[in-house]
Chain A
Amino acid sequence: MSSRRAAVQPTPDIVAISSKTGSAGVALAFEHVSKVFPDGTRALDDVSFDVHAGEMVAIVGPSGCGKSTLLRLASRLSTPSGGEIGVSDGNLGYVFQDATLLPWRTVQRNVELLAELAGVGSRERALLASQAIALTGLSGFERHRPRALSGGMRMRVSLARALTMRPRIFLFDEPFGALDEITRERLNGELLDLFERERFAGLFVTHSVSEAAFLASRVLVMSARPGRILAEIAVPFGYPRATELRFEPDFAVVAGQISARLREKLT
Chain B
Amino acid sequence: MAEVSRPVPGQRRRAVAQVVAPLIVFALVIAVWLFISYVLLEPRRRFLMPPPQEVVRVGFFDGRNVAEILGALWSTTQVAIVGLGVSIAIGTVIPVAMIQARWVEWSLYPWAVVLQTIPILAIVPLIGFWFQFGFSSRVLVCVLIALFPIVTNTLFGLKSTEQAQHDLFTLQRANRVQRLLKLQLPGALPAILSGWRIAAGLSVVGAIVGDFFFRQGEPGIGRLIDDYRARLQSEQLFASVALSSLLGLVVFWGFGLLGRLLVGAWHESHRSTE
Chain A interface residues (CB < 8 Å from chain B): 1, 4-5, 8, 75, 77, 92, 94, 96, 98, 100, 102-104, 113-114, 116-118, 144-148
Contact = CB atoms under 8 A, between A and B. Distances in A.
B169 interface: yes
B233 to A, nearest CB: 51
Contacts of A114: 172
Contact of B182 (A5, A117, A146): A117
A92 B171 contact: yes
A103 B266 contact: yes
A90 B172 CA distance: 10
B162 A102 contact: no
What band does the interface of chain B fall in when counting residues whose beta carbon is under 8 Å from A?
A: 20 to 34
Contacts of B4: none
Nearest to A96: B164
Nearest to A93: B171
Given A113-B182, A118-B172, A145-B266, 19 more contacts: A1-B175, A8-B173, A77-B170, A94-B171, A96-B164, A100-B162, A100-B164, A100-B165, A102-B187, A104-B186, A104-B189, A104-B266, A113-B168, A117-B172, A145-B1, A145-B265, A146-B266, A147-B1, A148-B1
Contacts of A113: 168, 182
Contact of A117 (B165, B174, B176): B174
B227 interface: no
> Binding site of B, secondary structure by majority: helix, strand, loop or mixed?
helix
Contacts of A96: 164, 167-168
Interface in B218-271: 263, 265-267
A4 B170 contact: yes
A146 B167 CA distance: 19
A27 to B, nearest CB: 17
A7 to B, nearest CB: 11
B178 interface: yes
Contacts of B82: none
Contacts of B167: 77, 96, 100
Nearest to B162: A100
Interface string B139-168: 000000000000000000000001011011
Interface string B98-122: 0000000000000000000000000
Contacts of B175: 1
B218 to A, nearest CB: 42
Given A103-B266, A145-B1, A147-B266, A98 B186 contact: no
A8 B170 CA distance: 12
A117 B189 CA distance: 20
Nearest to A146: B266
A117 B177 CA distance: 11
B22 to A, nearest CB: 31
Contacts of A144: 1
